[in-house]
Amino acid sequence: MTRLSRINTDAFKRSLTGIKRGVEREALRVNPQGGLATTPHHSALGAPLSHETITTDFSEALLEFITPPETSVKRTLSQLADIHKYVQQSIGEERLWPLSMPCFVSQETAIPIARYGTSNVAQMKEVYRKGLHNRYGSMMQVIAGVHFNWSLPDEFWQLWCQSQGLGFNKQTVSNGYFDLVRNFKRLAWLVPYLYGASPALCKSFLAGKEQKFDFKLLGKGTLYLPYATSLRMSDLGYTNSEQSALNICYNDLDSYVKTVRAAINTPSESYAKFASGENGEWQQLNSNVLQIENELYSPIRPKQVAKSLEKPSDALADRGVSYIEVRALDVNPFSSIGIKSEQFYFLDVFLLYCLLTPSQKFEASAYAEANSNLTKVVLEGRKPDLSLLDNGEEKTLKVWGGELFEAFALIAKVLDEANGTDCHSEAVKSELEKINDPDLTPSARWLNELLASNLDNSSFGLQKAADYKVHALEFDYLYLTKATFEQQAKDSIAQREAVEASDNQDFASFIKDYFAQDNK
């Protein structure tokens, strides 16, 4: 790899120590019997509208824990562990569900939509979620995942641009991130293979739905596919068929922003039946294919930190890409906090590989090939001799994986030399073992334990949830403190009240003004 040799210098290695990572971990609250918690957001957790580390996603029961960008993997994991401890202390007898696919849910109407207060911003968030419920159903929205945020420092990008005779600016940095994004999408199949942990689901998830797949039954109410890796990433899970015709372009910043903006301004006949403020009734924010950009489902997103009430596409257009968000990770059921350090180190290697490898612009055929590969691995990734397409060439997953890991080992060596560790190389070695032996993957480990014990997915998940609660309550805070979280909760409530007090227009006018803002 000629680009690898380009960064194998002392200056580049110093810059690589500035890689920053952050985590957003979603977790359902469940009762001691393993059912979905129907209690409101606990007051000790503060106001989800404005809390800096603890919020909610679609449902009151679906918590989301957020860590800030850090250069230290240990610090991020410590922060995440501390959040888990405080939450486990604050939710009484309830537990945190350790799986991506939800626990037993009696019916969709039992899933409470998240509430954020009485302000216009809070109402906007709630109406958006009503729109998600009406469009896709609430069951899909209580699937949990782990989002991994990753960025390279300015020092790296300055050297990167200089090595290619380019100026250092938002356009060249964004181009680099989009190179990474396209290669990630080509190789996205690797993530559910290595980290998918949802080969099975509770039968209640499919209640009233036509079964698309030939599921096998386990225990009293568990459905599974023998070689599946991540049902969360399948058509049953966190995907949106309505968006398949959008043709979001990832070739450069301008094209991406243009196509995303088109999607949030394209009317949908399918969604026109839901009220969008007519006669004061709000069942969605609007009847477009996407209500807002957040509705776009993708295994990876280019991101820029948005200001208050700034559209994500406007933030990108104005300031370019500042980090990427990997959204293809299942919750790791073998970790009490949903993710392990080895995943951080391997993703460093994988994402840097995606940047260093030449990245051709996407055409329709490349999109189709990437999506086909991802679908195959999601549904039957551990099938012996499963074949994928690498730029039109048929390869088995094992052969293609072996080729990739040869390059990964070289990148891991550079990262380890930069950081004075062997963590990246050890992570690569560990993941390579999964390529050679599918039984080592989380999906196989989980399914094999279910089959060996004849336990239902929900029963085994509840056991893990109980064990992880005990674990969280027993260990000492590592980085943050209980007092810190209590203060964050108070501050978040004060901030929510200040937002509510500052409102000076009705909700309909607020929404009209929000969508009338000129795209920059």
Q: What is the DSSP string of 296-357?
A: ---SEEEE-PPPTT--HHHHHHHH---EEEEEEEPP-TTSTTS--HHHHHHHHHHHHHHHHS
Which residue is listed with tokens 């995943």? 343
Domain contains 437:
yes
AA letter at 149: N
Report pTM: 0.96
Query: Which structural domain range is residue 510 located in?
Result: 2-234+322-516
Angle between helices 482-502 and 73-90 (to 10 degrees): 80
- Looking at the domain assignment, is residue 401 inside a domain? yes
DSSP assignment string, 468-500? HHHHHHHSPPSSS-HHHHHHHHHHHHHHHHHHH
Q: Count Cβ atoms below 10 Å from residue 126 Cβ, excluding itself.
A: 16
Taking CA atoms, 458 is separated from 37, 227, 468, 514, in Å, by 14, 19, 15, 42
Indicate the SS3 state at residue 94: coil
**Residue 240 included in any domain:** no
Tokens 């500035």 label which residue? Answer: 18
Which residues does 378 contact at the CB level (< 8 Å), separation at least 6?
A: 189, 192, 196, 228, 229, 230, 231, 233, 234
Residue 244 inside a domain? The answer is no
DSSP for 152-215, written as a single string: --HHHHHHHHHHTT---SHHHHHHHHHHHHHHHHHTTTHHHHHH--BSEEEGGGGTTS---S--
**pLDDT in the model for residue 4:** 77
Cα dihedral sign, 228-230-231-233: negative
317 within domain boundaries: no
Q: In CATH, what number is assigned to the domain containing residue 460?
A: 3.30.590.20
Using 50 as the pLDDT threshold, list the residues of the chain that sit under it.
520
pLDDT given for residue 520 in this prediction: 47
Start-to-end C-alpha separation, the chain: 39
Q: Is residue 303 part of a domain?
A: no
Distance CA 493, CA 503 (A): 16
> What are the structure tokens assigned to 364, written together?
């329709």
Residue with tokens 């929205």: 141
The chain-wide mean pLDDT, for the chain, equals 94
Note the pLDDT of residue 1: 53
- Per the DSSP assignment, residues forming a β-bridge with 326 are 148, 300
Q: Is residue 154 part of a domain?
A: yes
What is the model's pLDDT at position 518? 55
On whether the CB atoms of residues 119 and 503 are closer than 8 A, the answer is yes
Number of domains within the chain: 1
Q: Is 79 within a domain?
A: yes
